[in-house]
Amino acid sequence: MLNSLRSIVQEVNSARDLPSVLKIIVARVKNAMNTQVCSIYLRDPQGYYTLMATDGLNEQAIGQVRLAFNEGLVGMVAAREEPINLDQADSHPKFQYFPETGEERYSAFLGVPIIHHRNVLGVLVVQQMERRKFDEGEEAFLVTMSAQLAGVIAHAEATGALNVIGGTNTQRREAKFVGVPGAPGVAIGRAVVISPLADLTAVPYQTCENVEEELAFFQSCLAAVREDVKRLGEELKLRLNKEEQVLFDAYLGMLDDASLGGEVTERILEGFSAQYAWSDVILEHVKNFSSMNDPYLRERASDVQDLGSRVLAYLQESAQKERIYPENTILIGEELTASVLGEIPHGKLAGLVSVRGSSNSHVAILARSMGIPTVMGAVDLPFTKLDGREIIVDGYHGSVYSDPSPGLKSHYQDIVEEDLQLVAGLEQLKELPCETLDKHRVALWVNTGLMADAMLSLERGAEGVGLYRTEVPFMLRDRFPSEEEQRIVYREQLQAFAPHPVTMRTLDIGGDKSLPYFPITEDNPFLGWRGIRITLDHPEIFLAQVRAMLKASEDLNNLRILLPMISSIPELEVAQMLIYRAFDELLDEGYNIQMPPIGVMVEVPSAVYQARELAARADFLSVGSNDLTQYLLAVDRNNARVADLYHSLHPAVLRALHTVVKESHSQGVPVGICGELAGDPAASMLLVAMGFDVLSMSATNLLKVKSVIRSITLERAEKLLAEVMTLPDTESVNRCIESTFEESGLTRLLKPKLPT
Ligand code: PEP
Ligand code: MG
């Protein structure tokens, strides 16, 4: 059973569109279960369950038979969200007869719901003539099958919505894809799809503008690969046996016009881009070889795949150099990384969409700091098909639209316009203090990582840096930066903000932040070797960094050092000891420096419960609400599948934040918050009421938060906090905040309404 399950899922995964997905499922499930009928009903936009594929019933009935929710046996499976297994279906009161199916001959009926993310997408049914009940094993098999296929069907449905089959001249329709809000704002532009290099399955669907040029480009890449293979063959000649040498000749043969080369040329002549034509032809051959019975021939699939990837790498590298980015580039990729953002020419990047990741992935944080509307975790987005399409990114709600209708476009153009006005209206707040109506002052600082966001922060009137993520300059290199290289980068930050304080966090890698030159592979990276754990294990890295920070602060004296991921007192003490050591060394070396304040990030639950002890030993605390939320709620901040459980306004998180403030203040130690929550206008009243001394956020949110704080009294905020702290769940917290915003005329600072 497990084998047939695996092979069905594999085959379905490689199908190109929804009709082929459904066709494969019904044929293969019928076969595996040895039944006479297998059919799939899918829910249409009107809520009806329509027969979409069948093997066994009359095919003329496809698209004709429709059942409402709870109508007939199929509707009943959908309504009950559980399997129905009957030995004599036609005597069941819910049974409905559709003459066009020829169904009356079948007695036994087993229907299971197809459920994706709690939504019933459809019903999978098997039937048999004999009057018999499908046994427990068969029922379990069908349930397993359906659970595995639900995601594939959802994805294929989403892809189908694009209506791309048939090439460039098809009538395109608007399609909506759902993800997770990554960075607020709306962007309207053209998709540029970034595919991982040499991944044959991720090549975007692309046509070419000039067939002659594309052919010449393809031939030049083939010639380069031929040289490559020849050279490799020569180099390895002495080490290979005869059989292995033959393989190199076979590779060269495959590239000939009479073989793969010729097939690809034909596809390019049909108007496809070389990359797409190549990957399409190769995947077809890989599929054919893989399904052969002869083990020798089956093995050849990996040779074709290997050669395919090699040529693709050439095609992609050569194309990348010539890539032209449109004015309003919407960058789309399976897993966008922070470094990719740097590749787009300045001013051309309008929006981002990542298939993987979630709102607190680091690329999303970077996007927020750059003010680029972003959607993360759009898992069903058929991203390879979107290159060059018109796209709307709704970073407020996490929606992506392709080929928007004029009505939708104008709805979003209005929001873009309103946003511009809102930002312009907030400009006047730049020079004004951040205080409540009853004069309670709160420090508004910024989070930085790049020099670009430092500049933006200064423009927005930031009063200091609450979190400088030092890993960003580490990520942009191909080795650890030297002490002197670090000193120069840090000096730039300190100088830009002086005399305002700059809080530099020591290297916080691990989790989802990896350095290409220091790979860490772990099953559970967020609970593994992260942040301070790594740097304490590598004092040479830690000391070089701290020395660079201290040297950079010479004569400026605006440095603060922040330690990430502290989960116990000894970690803090060892880190402090190393910092003192570096400080003493530098004094001995003649530097004119002062000992900076040392702070602790409170971002794991143990630090919440030991906030008092940590505060007693540190100069300040700073809450990292991104990780704290992840660890308190046991929800991976990067996983789109659980993104709707990641709530920084969860009552448990709010209680933890309040505790940290009280404990820190009990020791007379100031406390800030530098996670994304600090920049959420909706949360700002609560954070002020809790007593946070510093809110540190992306520069783009600074004026919105200031505007909220300047519109209320501390008393009103405290009343809201008291009310919120009695609520049982995030939903009610959000509602309570919304009504306070409404009452204070601040609604527009929250996200705009969804299009109807
Ligand atoms: C946090 O965890 O809230 C934080 C500020 O650190 P980072 O997002 O870089 O992990
Ligand atoms: Mg963190």
Shared domain for 618 and 685, answered yes or no, is yes
Q: What percent of the chain has pLDDT over 90?
A: 58
Pick from 541, 537, 470, 540: which is nearest to 508 by CA? 470
Q: Is 464 in the pocket of ligand 1 (CB under 6 A)?
A: no
Give pLDDT, residue 295.
65
**What does pTM read for this prediction?**
0.79
Give me the DSSP letters along 102-164. TGGG--EEEEEEEEETTEEEEEEEEEESSS-PPPHHHHHHHHHHHHHHHHHHHHHHHHHTT--
Q: How remote is the CA of residue 196 from the centroid of ligand 2, in Å?
A: 27
CA angle 603, 609, 615 (to 5 degrees): 75
Q: Tokens at residue 696, please?
A: 């540190």
Whether the Cβ atoms of residue 89 and residue 104 lie closer than 8 Å to each other? no
Pick from 623, 480, 465: which is nearest to 545 by CA? 480
Q: How remote is the CA of residue 628 from the centroid of ligand 1, in Å?
A: 8
- Nearest ligand, CA of residue 672? 1
Judged by DSSP in three states, 183 sits in strand
Inside any domain, residue 754: no
Domain edge (last residue) among 271, 298, 318? 318
Mean pLDDT in residue range 58-69:
92
Residues 6+ apart with CB under 8 A from 2: none
**Inter-residue long-range contacts of 549-552, CB under 8 Å, 24+ positions, other chains counted:** 549/486, 549/490, 549/504, 549/596, 550/582, 550/583, 550/586, 550/591, 550/593, 550/596, 551/483, 551/487, 551/586, 551/591, 551/593, 552/486, 552/487, 552/488, 552/490, 552/491, 552/494
Question: Computed over its alpha carbons, how large is the radius of gyration of the chain?
Answer: 30
Residues 6+ apart with CB under 8 A from 340: 194, 331, 333, 363
Shared domain for 494 and 397, answered yes or no, is no
Instruction: Take atom 1 of ligand 1 and give the residue whose Cα is closest.
Output: 624
Shared domain for 683 and 719, answered yes or no, is yes
Shared domain for 154 and 181, answered yes or no, is no
Mean pLDDT in residue range 263-267:
89
Q: For residue 128, which phi and psi values (nearest 5 degrees)?
A: -150, 150
Q: Which of 358, 359, 360, 475 to mutate to test the pocket of ligand 1 (most atoms within 8 A of CB)?
A: 360
**Helix, strand, coil abundance in the chain, percent, nearest 5:** 50, 15, 35
Shared domain for 281 and 335, answered yes or no, is no
Say how far apart CA 529 and CA 509 lie, in whole Å.
9
Task: Say which range, 84-93, 95-104, 387-396, has the weakest mean pLDDT.
Answer: 95-104
Give me the DSSP letters along 240-307. S-HHHHHHHHHHHHHTSTTTHHHHHHHHHHTTB-HHHHHHHHHHHHHHHHHT-SSHHHHHHHHHHHHH
What tens digit of pLDDT does each residue of 695-728 get? Answer: 999 888 899 999 999 999 999 999 999 999 999 9
Query: Annotated catalytic sites, by residue?
Result: 362, 674
Q: Tokens at residue 372, please?
A: 């680029």
Instruction: Take atom 9 of ligand 1 and give the residue whose Cα is closest.
Output: 469
Inside any domain, residue 170: no
Secondary structure, 3-state, 436-456: CCCCCECEEEEEECCHHHHHH
Shared domain for 135 and 160, answered yes or no, is yes
Q: Is the pLDDT of residue 363 over 60?
A: yes
Q: Is 531 in the pocket of ligand 1 (CB under 6 A)?
A: no
Q: Is the pLDDT of residue 394 over 90?
A: yes
Atom of ligand 1 nearest to the CA of 469: 9
Shared domain for 444 and 565, answered yes or no, is yes
Shared domain for 354 and 492, answered yes or no, is no
Give the residue numbers spanning the domain of 53.
2-164
Say how far apart CA 656 and CA 625 lie, in whole Å.
10
Give pLDDT, residue 199.
80
Instruction: Take atom 4 of ligand 1 and give the residue whose Cα is closest.
Output: 624
Q: Which H or E run contains 583?
A: helix 569-588
Q: Tokens at residue 59, please?
A: 């095919």
Atom of ligand 1 nearest to the CA of 447: 5
Inside any domain, residue 426: no
Identity (one letter) of the amino acid at 263? E
Shared domain for 496 and 582, answered yes or no, is yes
Q: How remote is the CA of residue 708 from the centroid of ligand 1, in Å?
A: 24
Find the CATH number of the domain harbouring 62: 3.30.450.40
Say how far apart CA 548 and CA 492 lie, in whole Å.
12
Shared domain for 557 and 691, answered yes or no, is yes
Judged by DSSP in three states, 409 sits in helix
Q: How remote is the CA of residue 261 from the centroid of ligand 1, in Å?
A: 50
Shared domain for 506 and 653, answered yes or no, is yes
Domain edge (last residue) among 421, 451, 479? 421
Shared domain for 397 and 369, answered yes or no, is yes
Q: Is 510 in the pocket of ligand 1 (CB under 6 A)?
A: no
Whether the Cβ atoms of residue 287 and residue 20 lie closer than 8 Å to each other? no
Find the CATH number of the domain harbouring 573: 3.20.20.60
Instruction: Take atom 8 of ligand 1 and give the residue whose Cα is closest.
Output: 626
Domain edge (last residue) among 261, 287, 318? 318
Q: Is the pLDDT of residue 329 over 90?
A: yes
Task: Say which range, 204-218, 424-438, 501-515, 616-630, has the weakest mean pLDDT.
Answer: 204-218
Atom of ligand 1 nearest to the CA of 626: 3
Inside any domain, residue 756: no
Q: Which of 508, 512, 513, 635 to mutate to test the pocket of ligand 1 (most atoms within 8 A of CB)?
A: 508
Report CA torsion sign: 54, 57, 62, 68.
Answer: negative
Residues 6+ apart with CB under 8 A from 591: 550, 551, 554
**Any bridge partners for residue 43, and if so which?**
49
Rounded to the nearest 10 degrees, the angle between the axes of helix 362-370 and helix 451-459 is: 40
Question: pLDDT-derived band of residue 166, with 50, 70 and 90 as boundaries?
Answer: very low
> How many domains are contained in the chain?
4
Q: Is 675 in the pocket of ligand 1 (CB under 6 A)?
A: yes
Whether the Cβ atoms of residue 111 and residue 147 lie closer than 8 Å to each other? no
Task: Say which range, 43-47, 283-287, 327-331, has the weakest mean pLDDT.
Answer: 283-287
Say how far apart CA 478 and CA 480 lie, in whole Å.
7
